[in-house]
Amino acid sequence: MTNGTWNLVLLSLLTGISIVAQDLPMIVKESYTGDPPKITVAPGQIVTLFVRGLDVPPAVSKSDPLARELSGVYVLLEDGNNNWSQKLPLMRIGTGGCSQVTCRDNNIVAQIPYDMPAGTLQRPPYPRLTVYKNGKPGLTEEVVYASAVPRILSSCVAALVDDWPPSRTGGCRPMVTRQDGSLVSNENPFVPGETITIYAWGLGATDPLVEAGAAVKQPASTLARYRVRVCYNCGGLPEGGFYSAVGPWFDPEYVGLAVGSAGLYQINVKTPPPPPDSVVRAPGPIGAAVFYFSSSVSLEFSIFGAFRAN
């Protein structure tokens, strides 16, 4: 290696400048996952990959099922241990995405197939992701397989907006709706006793099994059983806290894929009445409810929702 080449490599490590050629795209990270890249994938999950060195115009798949290639780009998921590979259905390719390294990355929103092999003790899953441009592979990244990677959606996720980073005017609101389809907010709280719908990704395999990238034509419940409990006006953060007032676990009315979309799950919860003391703790007519979700295939996750206290 010449001194000039070594200096360029050292500079790239210190400053985060990419020396990857444009026909050798590299996955920088997957959104929402901490240190790059360590991507965790689950059946049916929607992933947003930030990719450096891709340099392609924005593109959106408008077909049903979703296209497997956009702007000459496709993403290959392989599991060599189980002799399986598949191109991922692509929702979109965006530009302007920011990672920990650069603000000139492309973002690729894709779906993990539902029939990805879970593996066996003798042949555990060994998945790898590679981004291809014009038929040429980029750098391959090993990923981690899980049965489910639950993520409550907000109005700011890359797949739901026209550009990235999105405008945060009015804030990023969780995708939780009342029975009329309107978003739950401080200005539009739910009334205890009504059914609310919480939208998420990554809740895992379903029955019946559906085609990845295809709009769901009929309800398909998750194989895993998800349970929920609610704590009214507990205060503090939903994760990591201990609340003596948290309610008992119960089953949602429905946990499964949302009809008419690809990869979108919905959780329908008939909200229980709040205990009398929790209403007293409300600072005004609007209170805060924390919904906790648990299953045997994922870590517990939670979300806030505004409710009408009186």
Q: 135-193, pLDDT tens digit by residue?
A: 999 888 888 899 999 988 887 664 554 444 444 445 677 889 999 999 999 999 999 99
With cut-offs at 50, 70 and 90, classify the pLDDT of residue 28: low
- pLDDT reported for residue 107: 82
* Residue 308: count of CB within 10 angstroms of its CB: 15
pLDDT higher than threshold 60 for residue 217: yes
pLDDT at 245: 65
The pLDDT, as a whole number, for residue 25 is: 63
- Between strands 144-145 and 40-41, the pairing is parallel
More confident residue, 12 or 74: 74
Return d(Cα 133, Cα 53) in angstroms, integer.
Answer: 10
- The model's confidence at residue 299, banded by pLDDT at 50, 70 and 90, is confident
Question: What's the pLDDT score for residue 26?
Answer: 67
Q: Quickly tell me which residue has 């973002």 as its tokens.
A: 107
| C-beta of residue 294 within 8 angstroms of C-beta of residue 249 | yes
Tokens 């990023």: give the residue: 172
Mean per-residue pLDDT, 111-135: 89
pLDDT reported for residue 20: 33
Taking residue 292's Cβ as centre, other Cβ atoms within 10 Å add up to 19
